Amino acid sequence: MAGVPHFDNSYIGLPKQFYERLEPNRVAAPRLIQINDVLAEELGLDKNFLRSPAGLDMLSGCAMPPGAEPIAQAYAGHQFGEFVHQLGDGRAMLLGEVVDRNGIRRDLQLKGSGRTPFSRRGDGRAALGSVLREYLVSEAIAALRIPTTRSLAAVATGEQVIRETLLPGAVLTRAAASHIRVGTFEYFAARRDIEAVRLLADYVIARHYPHIRFESETYRALLGAVAERQGALIARWLAVGFIHGVMNTDNMSVAGELLDYGPCAFLDTFDPLAVFSSIDQAGRYAYSNQPSVGAWNLARFSETLLPLLAVAETDQVAIAQQELERYGWRFKMEFQAIFHAKFGFGEVREGDAELVHSFLLAMTENQADFTLTFRRLADSVLGPDDDEPVRSLFINPLDFDRWAAVWRERLAAETRPPMAVREAMRRVNPAFIPRNHRVEAVIKAAIKSSDYRPFEEFSRVLSKPYEDHPAFAKYGDAPAEHERVSATFCGT
């Protein structure tokens, strides 16, 4: 078979309680919807193979090429605060690992390819809508320079899945640094299998944090390193108005990538308390709660590592607490760096934090559109004559004017010329995000009329979110009142 991926599988070398082996699973009529050629290239995969009958077999889970060793990974997790001791890949199949063009090991995983020993009462399938949603949003997140799992391919199965109604089925092929979650650690810790926790920790260090192998207290260093990556990640979500929606510990990757695109959403008007997920009744995963949920999840992670940190219990807890502090520290650093850049501040000066804070407050009170406001703010750098596009986004434009007067005084201290400040701001404030109403519209066109052109067009625009794309400006617009999406649903 020509062009078969060169699999180099390491997770399967871990003991047998880490996973279940899977058999391929035929689907009725697999049909290719989309291949991500740029990503295929990065992963060192042969595009012609992916488009061949054998490629389609692999991407739909029907038959495996040589070298693939499909498994479902075991994990547990805290879902909305409650511990569930057995979750695991119930609708996902890890095909194996490939080493990409940069020498990084990446998982290739199918989502929606059928039942596994972890499926519980689920059907192991995915609906086309959720596959297209993950494809579009994960690739947009990657283009926004946020670490994330990626989407390699979408395939229709020709079968229907039963949800509230009958929906067309599909399979997503996802690439990830790995699919090891906080919940994977919790799975073994809950079973008091400390040796398995140690093996998993060693595996994660070797794969994701090789630089700490030589530190004297490696498990302690692992905790701190995972905490830092998570802090940096969540700060970046806030900077683009992203709401994950289901930050359970089984959806938190220890590699520091955004994992699981179920009910995620982007803010239109700025509202720190915004929640879109229909299952998040209490607002646990609201936009501005995300930093504290990250800390909560990491505390659960630290608990799984306690026996590896020291002999005495009091020492274990003290070490864990110390390392967990690196989360908040890194979050603050990253938040400051990104938000300062969003306002055109080249270096930190006194009063900057207050300017950021007062602007966010004014945006909230004035129901200003998050993305448009920051994008247009760049034009105001040149002077108040250019303020109208941004100030008109505020219910009371005078609130903007008052704030802008102080902001301009601050900008006067910048050493860079205004044009350079404007350009720098445009490089961090995207014009295009996967707005909820647009995501729904392209999915609807695909499902209702088998029209994938809007999906492809929107994908193309989102792949270059910092450019203006005048011909596609509509994708940057805020939703009209009747277009506004108020609830998103889990990918199940």
Instruction: For the segment 265-324, give every residue that binds ligand AMP (CB under 6 A).
Output: none
State the binding string over 33-72 for ligand AMP (x if CB under 6 A, else -): ----------------------------------------
Selecting among 57, 107, 250, 399, the annotated active-site residue is: 250
Q: Are 165 and 153 in contact (CB under 8 A)?
A: no
- Asked whether position 149 contacts Mg ion by CB under 5 A, the answer is no
Instruction: For the segment 247-286, give every residue that binds Mg ion (CB under 5 A).
Output: 251, 260
Instruction: For the segment 190-249, give every residue that binds ligand AMP (CB under 6 A).
Output: 246
- Asked whether position 414 contacts ligand AMP by CB under 6 A, the answer is no
- Asked whether position 262 contacts ligand AMP by CB under 6 A, the answer is yes
Question: Which stretch in 117-125, 306-314, 378-386, 473-481 sits in contact with ligand AMP by CB under 6 A?
Answer: 117-125
Contacts of 142 by beta carbon, 8 Å cutoff, 6+ apart: 148, 150
What is the residue whose two structure tokens read 């599988």? 9
202 is catalytic: no
Q: Which does 345 bind (CB under 5 to 8 A by kind): ligand AMP, Mg ion, none?
A: none
Instruction: In angstroms, give the least distance from the CB of 283 to ligand AMP.
Output: 18
**Interface with ligand AMP (CB under 6 A), residue from 5, 124, 256, 430:** 124
**Interface with ligand AMP (CB under 6 A), residue from 24, 30, 65, 491:** 491
- Asked whether position 297 contacts Mg ion by CB under 5 A, the answer is no
- Taking CB positions, which residue lies at the least distance from Mg ion? 260
Instruction: For the segment 79-98, give every residue that binds ligand AMP (CB under 6 A).
Output: 87-91
CA distances from residue 28 to 20, 22, 195, 246 in whole angstroms, order as listed: 24, 19, 43, 32
Question: Which stretch in 114-122, 347-355, 360-368, 432-440 sits in contact with ligand AMP by CB under 6 A?
Answer: 114-122
**Interface with ligand AMP (CB under 6 A), residue from 20, 46, 100, 123:** 123
Chain residues binding Mg ion by CB under 5 A are 251, 260
- As annotated, the active-site residues are 250
Chain residues binding ligand AMP by CB under 6 A are 87-91, 118-119, 122-125, 246, 250-251, 260, 262, 490-492
